[in-house]
Amino acid sequence: MTVNDWVERLSEPDGLDRYRRYTHVSLAYFALFEVGLWVLWLMQTDSGTLTLTSVAVLGVAHAAVQMALSRAALRHYIGAGRRPYPLVAVYTAVTVAMAGWGFALLATGRIDDQSLAPYLFWLSMLYAGPPTLALSRRAAATLVAVVSVAVGAGSVVVGLSGTELALVIGGTVFMAPIMAVAFRASGWGVRLIEELAAARQTQARLAVAEERLRFGRDLHDVLGRNLAVVALKSELAAQLAQRGRPEAREQMLEVQRIAQDSQREIRSVVRGYRTADLHTELAGARSVLEAAGITCRIEYGPAARLPDQVQAALGWVVREGTTNVLRHAQGASRCNMSLRTAGPAEALLVMENDSASDPPSGTGTGLNGLKERLAALNGTLTTEQRPGGIFRLTARVPWEEAA
Protein backbone atom coordinates (compact mmCIF):
# COMPACT_ATOMS: atom_id res chain seq x y z
CA MET A 1 0.00 0.00 0.00
CA THR A 2 1.41 3.37 -1.05
CA VAL A 3 1.59 6.56 0.99
CA ASN A 4 -1.29 8.04 -1.02
CA ASP A 5 -3.43 5.02 -0.18
CA TRP A 6 -2.72 5.55 3.50
CA VAL A 7 -3.54 9.24 3.22
CA GLU A 8 -6.85 8.46 1.52
CA ARG A 9 -7.76 5.87 4.15
CA LEU A 10 -6.84 8.23 6.96
CA SER A 11 -8.90 10.95 5.31
CA GLU A 12 -12.05 8.88 5.66
CA PRO A 13 -14.46 9.87 8.46
CA ASP A 14 -13.22 7.08 10.76
CA GLY A 15 -9.63 6.98 9.47
CA LEU A 16 -8.16 9.13 12.24
CA ASP A 17 -10.00 7.17 14.95
CA ARG A 18 -8.72 3.91 13.50
CA TYR A 19 -5.14 5.14 13.52
CA ARG A 20 -5.49 6.40 17.08
CA ARG A 21 -6.87 3.04 18.20
CA TYR A 22 -4.07 1.29 16.38
CA THR A 23 -1.50 3.38 18.27
CA HIS A 24 -3.19 2.71 21.62
CA VAL A 25 -3.11 -1.02 20.89
CA SER A 26 0.55 -0.79 19.88
CA LEU A 27 1.47 0.88 23.17
CA ALA A 28 -0.65 -1.61 25.13
CA TYR A 29 1.31 -4.37 23.41
CA PHE A 30 4.46 -3.23 25.23
CA ALA A 31 2.67 -3.84 28.56
CA LEU A 32 1.63 -7.32 27.42
CA PHE A 33 5.16 -7.87 26.18
CA GLU A 34 6.44 -6.99 29.66
CA VAL A 35 4.09 -9.50 31.26
CA GLY A 36 5.43 -12.15 28.90
CA LEU A 37 9.01 -11.28 29.85
CA TRP A 38 8.27 -11.63 33.55
CA VAL A 39 6.57 -14.97 32.94
CA LEU A 40 9.67 -16.10 31.05
CA TRP A 41 11.90 -14.88 33.88
CA LEU A 42 9.83 -16.73 36.48
CA MET A 43 10.00 -19.94 34.47
CA GLN A 44 13.80 -19.76 34.21
CA THR A 45 14.47 -18.72 37.81
CA ASP A 46 15.04 -21.36 40.48
CA SER A 47 13.79 -19.79 43.69
CA GLY A 48 11.16 -20.13 46.37
CA THR A 49 7.44 -19.68 45.84
CA LEU A 50 7.31 -16.51 47.93
CA THR A 51 10.09 -14.93 45.89
CA LEU A 52 8.51 -15.78 42.56
CA THR A 53 5.09 -14.65 43.73
CA SER A 54 6.41 -11.29 44.89
CA VAL A 55 8.16 -10.70 41.56
CA ALA A 56 5.01 -11.74 39.69
CA VAL A 57 2.88 -9.27 41.67
CA LEU A 58 5.34 -6.43 41.13
CA GLY A 59 5.71 -7.30 37.45
CA VAL A 60 1.95 -7.29 36.83
CA ALA A 61 1.58 -4.04 38.76
CA HIS A 62 4.39 -2.47 36.74
CA ALA A 63 2.80 -3.59 33.44
CA ALA A 64 -0.64 -2.32 34.51
CA VAL A 65 0.71 1.11 35.48
CA GLN A 66 2.68 1.22 32.23
CA MET A 67 -0.50 0.57 30.21
CA ALA A 68 -2.45 3.26 32.08
CA LEU A 69 0.40 5.76 31.80
CA SER A 70 0.91 5.05 28.09
CA ARG A 71 -2.75 5.74 27.37
CA ALA A 72 -2.82 8.94 29.45
CA ALA A 73 0.53 10.10 28.06
CA LEU A 74 -0.66 9.66 24.47
CA ARG A 75 -3.82 11.65 25.20
CA HIS A 76 -1.69 14.46 26.60
CA TYR A 77 0.78 14.34 23.72
CA ILE A 78 -1.95 14.88 21.14
CA GLY A 79 -3.48 17.68 23.21
CA ALA A 80 -6.49 15.80 24.59
CA GLY A 81 -5.53 15.71 28.28
CA ARG A 82 -3.28 17.04 31.02
CA ARG A 83 0.16 15.77 31.86
CA PRO A 84 -0.29 12.60 33.94
CA TYR A 85 2.15 13.55 36.71
CA PRO A 86 0.58 11.22 39.33
CA LEU A 87 0.87 8.21 37.04
CA VAL A 88 4.49 9.11 36.23
CA ALA A 89 5.26 9.24 39.95
CA VAL A 90 3.53 5.89 40.58
CA TYR A 91 5.26 4.30 37.58
CA THR A 92 8.67 5.54 38.75
CA ALA A 93 8.00 4.37 42.29
CA VAL A 94 7.00 0.87 41.14
CA THR A 95 10.09 0.69 38.90
CA VAL A 96 12.42 1.71 41.74
CA ALA A 97 10.65 -0.71 44.08
CA MET A 98 11.14 -3.58 41.62
CA ALA A 99 14.81 -2.71 41.20
CA GLY A 100 15.29 -2.47 44.95
CA TRP A 101 13.49 -5.77 45.47
CA GLY A 102 15.81 -7.41 42.94
CA PHE A 103 18.84 -6.07 44.79
CA ALA A 104 17.38 -7.39 48.04
CA LEU A 105 16.78 -10.84 46.56
CA LEU A 106 20.40 -11.00 45.36
CA ALA A 107 21.75 -9.74 48.67
CA THR A 108 19.80 -12.40 50.59
CA GLY A 109 20.85 -15.16 48.23
CA ARG A 110 17.37 -15.93 46.87
CA ILE A 111 18.47 -15.31 43.28
CA ASP A 112 21.89 -15.28 41.63
CA ASP A 113 23.70 -12.81 39.37
CA GLN A 114 22.51 -14.55 36.21
CA SER A 115 18.88 -14.08 37.27
CA LEU A 116 19.23 -10.47 38.39
CA ALA A 117 20.96 -9.23 35.20
CA PRO A 118 18.05 -9.88 32.77
CA TYR A 119 15.64 -8.74 35.47
CA LEU A 120 17.30 -5.30 35.60
CA PHE A 121 17.91 -5.24 31.83
CA TRP A 122 14.20 -5.62 31.03
CA LEU A 123 13.16 -3.28 33.80
CA SER A 124 15.45 -0.45 32.59
CA MET A 125 14.45 -0.97 28.98
CA LEU A 126 10.68 -1.03 29.56
CA TYR A 127 10.65 1.91 31.97
CA ALA A 128 12.04 4.43 29.46
CA GLY A 129 9.04 4.51 27.10
CA PRO A 130 5.97 6.08 28.78
CA PRO A 131 7.70 9.05 30.48
CA THR A 132 8.92 10.33 27.10
CA LEU A 133 5.28 10.88 26.08
CA ALA A 134 4.08 12.14 29.44
CA LEU A 135 6.82 14.72 30.07
CA SER A 136 8.76 17.24 28.05
CA ARG A 137 11.85 15.92 26.30
CA ARG A 138 14.25 17.46 28.81
CA ALA A 139 12.27 16.35 31.85
CA ALA A 140 11.78 12.84 30.46
CA ALA A 141 15.47 12.49 29.57
CA THR A 142 16.48 13.66 33.03
CA LEU A 143 14.08 11.28 34.81
CA VAL A 144 15.04 8.26 32.72
CA ALA A 145 18.73 9.06 33.14
CA VAL A 146 18.39 9.34 36.94
CA VAL A 147 16.53 6.04 37.22
CA SER A 148 18.97 4.31 34.87
CA VAL A 149 21.99 5.59 36.76
CA ALA A 150 20.39 4.50 40.04
CA VAL A 151 19.83 0.99 38.66
CA GLY A 152 23.41 0.82 37.38
CA ALA A 153 24.84 2.08 40.66
CA GLY A 154 22.73 -0.37 42.65
CA SER A 155 23.99 -3.19 40.44
CA VAL A 156 27.57 -2.28 41.25
CA VAL A 157 26.82 -1.99 44.97
CA VAL A 158 25.24 -5.44 45.19
CA GLY A 159 28.26 -6.97 43.44
CA LEU A 160 27.28 -7.46 39.80
CA SER A 161 30.31 -7.60 37.51
CA GLY A 162 31.53 -8.92 34.22
CA THR A 163 28.92 -10.05 31.70
CA GLU A 164 26.00 -9.48 34.05
CA LEU A 165 26.95 -5.85 34.76
CA ALA A 166 27.57 -5.26 31.04
CA LEU A 167 24.09 -6.58 30.31
CA VAL A 168 22.52 -4.14 32.77
CA ILE A 169 24.57 -1.23 31.43
CA GLY A 170 23.67 -2.24 27.87
CA GLY A 171 19.99 -2.11 28.72
CA THR A 172 20.48 1.36 30.20
CA VAL A 173 22.67 2.82 27.47
CA PHE A 174 21.25 1.22 24.31
CA MET A 175 17.81 -0.30 24.84
CA ALA A 176 16.29 2.45 27.00
CA PRO A 177 16.84 5.15 24.32
CA ILE A 178 15.38 2.83 21.66
CA MET A 179 12.26 2.29 23.74
CA ALA A 180 11.97 6.03 24.41
CA VAL A 181 12.23 6.83 20.70
CA ALA A 182 9.62 4.16 19.86
CA PHE A 183 7.07 5.67 22.26
CA ARG A 184 7.83 9.22 21.17
CA ALA A 185 7.52 8.24 17.49
CA SER A 186 4.14 6.63 18.14
CA GLY A 187 2.81 9.80 19.72
CA TRP A 188 4.35 11.95 17.00
CA GLY A 189 2.67 9.81 14.35
CA VAL A 190 -0.78 10.31 15.88
CA ARG A 191 -0.19 14.06 16.20
CA LEU A 192 1.01 14.27 12.60
CA ILE A 193 -2.06 12.40 11.32
CA GLU A 194 -4.38 14.66 13.33
CA GLU A 195 -2.64 17.75 11.95
CA LEU A 196 -2.98 16.30 8.44
CA ALA A 197 -6.70 15.70 8.97
CA ALA A 198 -7.14 19.23 10.36
CA ALA A 199 -5.20 20.66 7.41
CA ARG A 200 -7.43 18.82 4.93
CA GLN A 201 -10.54 20.14 6.70
CA THR A 202 -9.11 23.65 6.58
CA GLN A 203 -8.30 23.19 2.91
CA ALA A 204 -11.87 22.12 2.25
CA ARG A 205 -13.24 25.15 4.13
CA LEU A 206 -10.90 27.46 2.21
CA ALA A 207 -12.01 25.91 -1.07
CA VAL A 208 -15.63 26.59 -0.14
CA ALA A 209 -14.80 30.17 0.88
CA GLU A 210 -12.85 30.72 -2.34
CA GLU A 211 -15.76 29.41 -4.39
CA ARG A 212 -18.11 31.75 -2.57
CA LEU A 213 -15.84 34.68 -3.31
CA ARG A 214 -15.61 33.65 -6.95
CA PHE A 215 -19.36 33.34 -7.22
CA GLY A 216 -19.96 36.71 -5.55
CA ARG A 217 -17.33 38.42 -7.70
CA ASP A 218 -18.59 36.89 -10.95
CA LEU A 219 -22.20 37.62 -10.05
CA HIS A 220 -21.30 41.25 -9.41
CA ASP A 221 -19.39 41.52 -12.67
CA VAL A 222 -22.11 39.81 -14.70
CA LEU A 223 -25.12 41.68 -13.30
CA GLY A 224 -23.53 45.06 -12.61
CA ARG A 225 -23.42 46.36 -16.15
CA ASN A 226 -26.53 44.53 -17.34
CA LEU A 227 -28.67 45.95 -14.53
CA ALA A 228 -27.31 49.42 -15.21
CA VAL A 229 -28.23 49.06 -18.88
CA VAL A 230 -31.68 47.69 -17.99
CA ALA A 231 -32.31 50.67 -15.73
CA LEU A 232 -31.11 53.09 -18.41
CA LYS A 233 -33.14 51.58 -21.25
CA SER A 234 -36.24 51.18 -19.07
CA GLU A 235 -36.07 54.86 -18.18
CA LEU A 236 -35.64 55.74 -21.84
CA ALA A 237 -38.54 53.47 -22.83
CA ALA A 238 -40.77 55.11 -20.22
CA GLN A 239 -39.97 58.56 -21.55
CA LEU A 240 -40.60 57.45 -25.13
CA ALA A 241 -43.88 55.81 -24.13
CA GLN A 242 -45.06 59.02 -22.44
CA ARG A 243 -44.42 60.82 -25.70
CA GLY A 244 -46.20 58.13 -27.70
CA ARG A 245 -43.03 57.25 -29.61
CA PRO A 246 -42.89 53.78 -31.25
CA GLU A 247 -39.19 53.44 -30.30
CA ALA A 248 -40.31 52.54 -26.77
CA ARG A 249 -41.12 49.03 -27.97
CA GLU A 250 -37.62 48.58 -29.37
CA GLN A 251 -36.07 49.68 -26.08
CA MET A 252 -38.17 47.20 -24.09
CA LEU A 253 -37.25 44.42 -26.52
CA GLU A 254 -33.63 45.30 -25.83
CA VAL A 255 -34.32 45.12 -22.10
CA GLN A 256 -35.83 41.66 -22.64
CA ARG A 257 -32.74 40.53 -24.58
CA ILE A 258 -30.39 41.79 -21.87
CA ALA A 259 -32.43 40.01 -19.21
CA GLN A 260 -32.22 36.75 -21.19
CA ASP A 261 -28.48 37.21 -21.64
CA SER A 262 -28.14 37.80 -17.91
CA GLN A 263 -29.94 34.53 -17.16
CA ARG A 264 -27.58 32.66 -19.45
CA GLU A 265 -24.52 34.30 -17.92
CA ILE A 266 -25.69 33.54 -14.37
CA ARG A 267 -26.04 29.87 -15.31
CA SER A 268 -22.48 30.00 -16.64
CA VAL A 269 -21.29 31.56 -13.38
CA VAL A 270 -22.95 28.78 -11.39
CA ARG A 271 -21.25 26.18 -13.58
CA GLY A 272 -17.99 28.00 -12.97
CA TYR A 273 -16.57 28.32 -16.45
CA ARG A 274 -17.79 31.67 -17.73
CA THR A 275 -15.13 33.90 -19.30
CA ALA A 276 -15.30 37.42 -20.66
CA ASP A 277 -14.37 37.74 -24.34
CA LEU A 278 -12.39 40.94 -24.92
CA HIS A 279 -13.75 41.76 -28.39
CA THR A 280 -17.31 41.05 -27.29
CA GLU A 281 -16.93 43.22 -24.19
CA LEU A 282 -15.42 46.12 -26.18
CA ALA A 283 -18.23 46.00 -28.73
CA GLY A 284 -20.83 45.70 -25.98
CA ALA A 285 -19.30 48.61 -24.07
CA ARG A 286 -19.44 50.83 -27.14
CA SER A 287 -23.11 49.91 -27.76
CA VAL A 288 -24.14 50.49 -24.16
CA LEU A 289 -22.29 53.79 -23.76
CA GLU A 290 -23.56 55.22 -27.03
CA ALA A 291 -27.10 54.21 -26.07
CA ALA A 292 -26.58 56.29 -22.93
CA GLY A 293 -25.48 59.27 -25.04
CA ILE A 294 -21.76 58.84 -24.30
CA THR A 295 -19.36 58.98 -27.21
CA CYS A 296 -17.06 55.94 -27.14
CA ARG A 297 -13.75 55.63 -28.97
CA ILE A 298 -11.82 52.33 -28.91
CA GLU A 299 -8.26 51.52 -29.95
CA TYR A 300 -8.03 47.73 -30.21
CA GLY A 301 -4.25 47.56 -30.50
CA PRO A 302 -2.83 44.04 -29.97
CA ALA A 303 -6.12 42.52 -28.80
CA ALA A 304 -6.01 39.68 -31.31
CA ARG A 305 -2.49 38.62 -30.27
CA LEU A 306 -3.10 38.40 -26.54
CA PRO A 307 -3.39 35.00 -24.83
CA ASP A 308 -6.88 33.86 -23.87
CA GLN A 309 -6.27 34.39 -20.14
CA VAL A 310 -5.16 37.98 -20.69
CA GLN A 311 -8.09 38.70 -23.00
CA ALA A 312 -10.53 37.30 -20.45
CA ALA A 313 -9.05 39.37 -17.61
CA LEU A 314 -9.08 42.57 -19.67
CA GLY A 315 -12.60 41.75 -20.80
CA TRP A 316 -13.71 41.87 -17.16
CA VAL A 317 -11.93 45.21 -16.79
CA VAL A 318 -13.86 46.62 -19.75
CA ARG A 319 -17.15 45.34 -18.32
CA GLU A 320 -16.56 46.75 -14.83
CA GLY A 321 -15.17 50.02 -16.17
CA THR A 322 -18.25 50.49 -18.36
CA THR A 323 -20.50 49.77 -15.38
CA ASN A 324 -18.70 52.41 -13.33
CA VAL A 325 -19.11 54.99 -16.11
CA LEU A 326 -22.86 54.34 -16.22
CA ARG A 327 -23.22 54.39 -12.43
CA HIS A 328 -20.78 57.01 -11.24
CA ALA A 329 -20.19 59.36 -14.18
CA GLN A 330 -22.60 62.25 -13.86
CA GLY A 331 -22.95 64.05 -17.18
CA ALA A 332 -20.13 62.16 -18.90
CA SER A 333 -20.01 62.86 -22.62
CA ARG A 334 -17.15 60.67 -23.79
CA CYS A 335 -15.23 57.53 -22.88
CA ASN A 336 -12.00 56.40 -24.51
CA MET A 337 -10.62 52.85 -24.33
CA SER A 338 -7.10 52.18 -25.49
CA LEU A 339 -5.41 48.77 -25.63
CA ARG A 340 -1.70 48.82 -26.39
CA THR A 341 1.59 47.28 -25.35
CA ALA A 342 3.87 48.64 -22.66
CA GLY A 343 7.27 47.13 -23.21
CA PRO A 344 7.92 43.91 -25.12
CA ALA A 345 5.51 41.67 -23.21
CA GLU A 346 2.97 43.70 -21.26
CA ALA A 347 -0.60 44.54 -22.24
CA LEU A 348 -1.90 47.95 -21.14
CA LEU A 349 -5.61 48.85 -21.10
CA VAL A 350 -6.53 52.46 -20.33
CA MET A 351 -10.12 53.66 -19.89
CA GLU A 352 -10.81 57.40 -19.52
CA ASN A 353 -14.05 59.32 -19.17
CA ASP A 354 -14.88 62.93 -18.41
CA SER A 355 -17.18 64.38 -15.76
CA ALA A 356 -16.57 61.32 -13.58
CA SER A 357 -15.96 60.84 -9.90
CA ASP A 358 -13.96 58.02 -8.37
CA PRO A 359 -16.28 55.29 -7.03
CA PRO A 360 -16.63 55.50 -3.25
CA SER A 361 -13.82 53.59 -1.62
CA GLY A 362 -14.77 50.62 0.51
CA THR A 363 -18.39 50.54 -0.71
CA GLY A 364 -18.11 48.31 -3.76
CA THR A 365 -16.55 45.01 -4.72
CA GLY A 366 -16.09 45.51 -8.47
CA LEU A 367 -12.61 47.05 -8.49
CA ASN A 368 -11.44 44.72 -5.73
CA GLY A 369 -12.65 41.78 -7.76
CA LEU A 370 -10.76 43.07 -10.80
CA LYS A 371 -7.58 43.42 -8.75
CA GLU A 372 -7.92 39.80 -7.64
CA ARG A 373 -8.39 38.62 -11.22
CA LEU A 374 -5.37 40.55 -12.45
CA ALA A 375 -3.23 39.54 -9.46
CA ALA A 376 -3.67 35.91 -10.51
CA LEU A 377 -1.82 36.89 -13.74
CA ASN A 378 0.72 39.10 -11.94
CA GLY A 379 -1.17 42.12 -13.25
CA THR A 380 -2.13 45.41 -11.59
CA LEU A 381 -5.07 47.80 -11.62
CA THR A 382 -4.83 51.50 -10.77
CA THR A 383 -7.27 54.40 -10.74
CA GLU A 384 -6.55 58.12 -10.75
CA GLN A 385 -8.25 61.50 -11.06
CA ARG A 386 -6.63 63.70 -13.68
CA PRO A 387 -6.96 67.43 -14.31
CA GLY A 388 -10.14 68.51 -16.10
CA GLY A 389 -12.37 66.00 -14.32
CA ILE A 390 -10.89 63.01 -16.14
CA PHE A 391 -11.09 59.64 -14.42
CA ARG A 392 -8.58 57.03 -15.63
CA LEU A 393 -8.62 53.28 -15.06
CA THR A 394 -5.40 51.46 -16.00
CA ALA A 395 -4.86 47.70 -16.16
CA ARG A 396 -1.45 46.11 -16.79
CA VAL A 397 -0.96 42.41 -17.48
CA PRO A 398 2.34 40.73 -18.50
CA TRP A 399 1.16 38.41 -21.23
CA GLU A 400 4.22 36.10 -21.45
CA GLU A 401 3.85 35.12 -17.79
CA ALA A 402 0.10 34.68 -18.24
CA ALA A 403 0.63 32.54 -21.33
Mean pLDDT of the chain: 80
49-63, 129-143, 163-177, 274-288: least confident range: 274-288
> Cα(291)–Cα(258) distance, rounded to whole angstroms?
14
Tell me what pLDDT residue 214 has: 65
Return the SS3 of 109. Answer: coil
> Is residue 258's pLDDT more than 70?
yes
- Each as own residue / partner, the long-range contacts of residues 136-145 (CB below 8 Å, 24 or more positions apart, any chain) are 140/180, 141/180, 143/88, 143/92, 144/176, 144/180
Q: What is the mean pLDDT of residues 235-253?
A: 81
Helix 49-77 vs helix 113-127: crossing angle, to nearest 10? 20
Lowest mean pLDDT among 82-91, 133-142, 205-214, 342-351: 205-214
Tell which residue, 72, 54, 51, 74, has the closest CA to residue 62: 54
pLDDT at 208: 61
**What b/e sequence results for 259-288 when a residue is b if at least 16 CB atoms lie within 10 Å of its CB, and e otherwise?**
eeebeebbeebeeeebebebeebbebbbeb
What's this model's pTM, rounded to 2 decimal places?
0.52
pLDDT at 402: 46
Q: What is the mean pLDDT of residues 326-352?
A: 82
Residues 6+ apart with CB under 8 A from 366: 220, 221, 224, 320, 323, 324, 359
**241: exposed, middle or buried (Cβ count in 10 Å: 0-12, 13-18, 19+):** middle
Query: CA 110, CA 226: separation in Å to the nearest integer?
Result: 99
Listed range (37-51, 76-90, 161-175, 272-286) with the worst mean pLDDT = 272-286
pLDDT above 90 coverage of the chain, percent:
12
More confident call, 312 vs 197: 312
CA atoms within 13 A on the CB side of 205: 6
Residue 291: the pLDDT is: 74
Calculate mean pLDDT across residues 103-132. Answer: 89
